[in-house]
Amino acid sequence: MSTGSPNPPAAPHVKAMNCPGCGAALTLRSFTQAVTVVCESCHSILDAQDPQLKILQQFKKTTGEDPPLIPLGTRGKIRGTPYEAVGFQRRTIHVDGIPYSWHEYVLFNPYKGFRYVTEYNGHWNDVSTLRALPALNTFAGEVTVNYLGENYRHFQTAEAATTYVLGEFPWQVRVGEANEVTDYVSPPRVLSSEKSGKEVTWSMGEYVSGRDIWKSFSLSGEPPAAIGVYENQPSPFSADTKQIWTIFAAFAILVVVMLIGFASFASDEQVFQGDYVFDTNSHGEPSFVTDPFELKGRTSTLELSTHTSLDNNWIYLNYALVNQDTEKAYDFGREVSYYHGYDEDGSWTEGSRNDSVAIPSVPPGTYYLRVEPESDRGHGTIRYEITAKRDVPQFSFFGIALLALLVPAALITWRSINFEHMRWAESDHAPMESSDDGDDD
């Protein structure tokens, strides 16, 4: 019987080694899952699968330093799972000859594997690889991608080159290597496809704030401020826009209900009626006071109507509604005119024989009217009837209320459109800039 006992492999431990390039101490944090590891002191890219750590590439001279904001070896929690930052790379694209760079952090958990965090100009994304294949659709020249029922719009396609690396990677990484990267957005998510050779790898990113990253990894200081609008940054207005229009709709319904309520509950009670004749030929004092009338109940709107027998004539009525007890007077004047006739276009009319005016917030009490009619002299008699109704429903208030609600809704909608404009200005589908025709106010 041969010797030996079942010796299950020892618990994997963090490997400490020395870099064959410079001799500096080196740790393999992802156990044996990394394919390449970059020495943090001499920046040699080493074969992590090779016990001798064969040097694959040295790049320090060409790239300079680019210290990661999340130091390698830092642990943090993403969606409740602890992850350790094990790798870091800078990737650069060129748009119209201008380089744009972002950073990718490789995160590792020995049970859940690799996950990524990206950062561009202070905008962060939590990224993981996809477990299903997205469906590509082209509709009306626009490419969209559907993933698990959600549509993503094409944002940008570019050649992304690795321009700096540190730490461990679960794939073969080299400085200078470029892949075609395409982003499709549906804020706060972004789907990215990465083409290497014929193979396409898909990943999904979800926008996170720098503050959340700082909290997750317990980093000191402040995260860098986010500059501009990022491709999948959720619009701070899109939720507001929806909300404010919902509120607007709710208020509009409420206003209409109130309007109906006021109309049906208003007592609309006639409190005064009087018939008068104004003789334009008379030389007597035309002004007079009416019999007193009682306004009962609550303070309400008083509607004063004038119905006349005008016929190609006008009358001006100086009114004063006077409280008999307090002597408080509401002064107002009404001009009523009515003209009609025939010309080459047929019959015409101008003005009206009737007029009505609302006097708001008239308290209860005993009132009388002082009336002083005026008109051109020598036009015969003008007959008119004065009626007063209390607690008359008013509609203009509701219109003003709706308008007051419409203003913030329109403002937020405009800001939301502006935000989307800024987002898409950075994409392959930027609207044409109208710089010289001056219509971009």
Partner 1 sequence: MTQPAANCPNCGAPIVFRWSSSVQTVCTYCKSILVRTDVDLKKVSQVADLPPNASPIQIGTEGVYNHHSFVAVGRIIYEYDQGTWNEWHVVMNNGSAWLSDAQDNYVVTFAAPGRKLPPQARIGQQYIWDNETYTVTTITKAHYRGVEGELPFQYWDKDDVVFVDLMSEHGKFGTLDYSDESPALYLGESVEFDDLKLKNLRSFEGWQ
Q: Which one, 37 or 310, has the nearer CB to partner 1? A: 37
The CB-of-165 to partner 1 minimum distance in angstroms stands at: 16
Q: Which one, 4 or 284, has the nearer CB to partner 1? A: 4
Interaction between residue 356 and partner 1 (CB under 8 A): no
User: Shortest CA distance to 102 belongs to which of 173, 45, 158?
Assistant: 158
Interaction between residue 2 and partner 1 (CB under 8 A): yes
Using the rule CB under 8 A, which residue among 32, 41, 246, 349 binds partner 1? 32
CB atoms within 10 A of CB 120: 18
The CB-of-67 to partner 1 minimum distance in angstroms stands at: 24
Interaction between residue 1 and partner 1 (CB under 8 A): yes
Interaction between residue 13 and partner 1 (CB under 8 A): yes
Q: Which stretch binds partner 1 (CB under 8 A): 107-115, 176-184, 217-225, 413-421?
A: 107-115
Using the rule CB under 8 A, which residue among 56, 93, 200, 259 binds partner 1? 200
Strand-pairing partners, residue 269, are 390
CB atoms within 10 A of CB 149: 5
Residue 22, token pair as written in the block: 């410079």
Interaction between residue 109 and partner 1 (CB under 8 A): yes
Binding residues among 44-103 for partner 1 as defined by CB under 8 A: 49, 82
Q: Do 79 and 43 contact (CB within 8 A), yes or no?
A: no
Is the bond leading into 134 cis (omega within 30 degrees of zero)?
no
Which 3 state secondary structure label does DSSP give 356? strand
Supply angle C-alpha 38, 16, 53, rounded to 5: 45
Residue 110, token pair as written in the block: 């020995």
Q: Which one, 9 or 64, has the nearer CB to partner 1? A: 9
Residues, the chain, total? 441
Q: Do 224 and 69 contact (CB within 8 A), yes or no?
A: yes
Using the rule CB under 8 A, which residue among 23, 71, 110, 399 binds partner 1? 110
Using the rule CB under 8 A, which residue among 137, 172, 356, 418 binds partner 1? 172
How far is Cα 28 from Cα 34, in angstroms, rounded to an integer? 8
- Kindly list the residues in this chain that would bind partner 1 in the complex (CB under 8 A): 1-2, 4-6, 8-9, 11-14, 30-35, 49, 82, 109-114, 129, 131-135, 146, 170-172, 198-200
